Copies of this chain bind each other. A is one copy, B any other.
């Protein structure tokens, strides 16, 4: 295809490049209301979601790994800034940059709404601290078929570039909500949704717990676990069995294992019903 017109920049001191670099910092993101999406796969998913308002795209064609980069950036319809590889590598936050960074406007994450939420399990993560964990949870949720995720009282900015990255861009495919844990519990109570807390204090195994149906599976933060409120008000508490000397698992890992176990229980039920 024909190459779109690009605006070539060869100095790192250019204000557009400084702007993109500064978007790695949380307070600058808050100030400007923008955020960055790096990588082909991430950008493709962001564009496909139709959710985003883009501001500009930074490219370095020497770093492109595939054949569809030009058509992807053209389809976005905003200014394309082109820089040499050496400059792109300095701006990129990846080990192996693939030549694509977009800047988009932040959007508001909604609160839960009964009419929009089907009778399937909901994932709730309270107080998450690490962008890598949040992103990995999104990626695994998409794989396990969890489409609705509440990030309650997060300790991390949901527009952190490492979240987008660790999610491989599926963050734009999911229904993500942001609100307080109290609101989440109230929503569940008034909508007959069973709150299942996953916490090492409970001995009951997740394998002996019906995770499917109209449930909310709740996980606490990396350092503090569930808040006092969340611990005091759940319906069912359970945990993953721990063999050996390990006393806990990484947060994203626990959530991933339990989302896949939920998925397995759903498949098993479907098979039982169909009489296979």
Q: Mark A49-64, 1 if CB is under 8 A from B, else 0.
A: 0000000000000000
A69: interface (CB < 8 Å): no
Q: Which of B142, B168, B253 contacts A243 (CB 8 A)?
A: B142
A256 at the interface (CB under 8 A from B): yes
Binds B, one of A211-219, A229-237, A259-267: A259-267
A165 to chain B, nearest CB (A): 11
B267 in contact with A207 (CB, 8 Å): yes
Partner of A256, one of B257, B264, B267: B257
Task: Check: A17 CB closer than 8 A to any chain B CB.
Answer: no
Q: How far is the CA of A140 from the CA of B256 in the complex (A)?
A: 12
Confirm or deny: A113 has a beta carbon within 8 angstroms of a beta carbon on chain B: no
Q: How many residues of A contact B (CB 8 A)?
A: 33
Q: Which of B142, B242, B249, B261 contacts A246 (CB 8 A)?
A: B142
A45 CB within 8 Å of chain B: yes
Chain A 163-175, CB-CB to B under 8 Å as 1, else 0, gives 0001010100100
- Cβ of A145 within 8 Å of any chain B Cβ, yes or no, is yes
Residue contact B144 to A243, C-beta cutoff 8 Å: yes
A241 CB-CB contact with B under 8 Å: yes
Chain B residues closer than 8 Å to A147, beta-carbon distance: 244
Instruction: Check if A240 is an interface residue, CB within 8 A of chain B.
Output: yes
Q: Which 3 A-B pairs have the closest CB atoms?
A: A145-B243, A142-B246, A142-B244
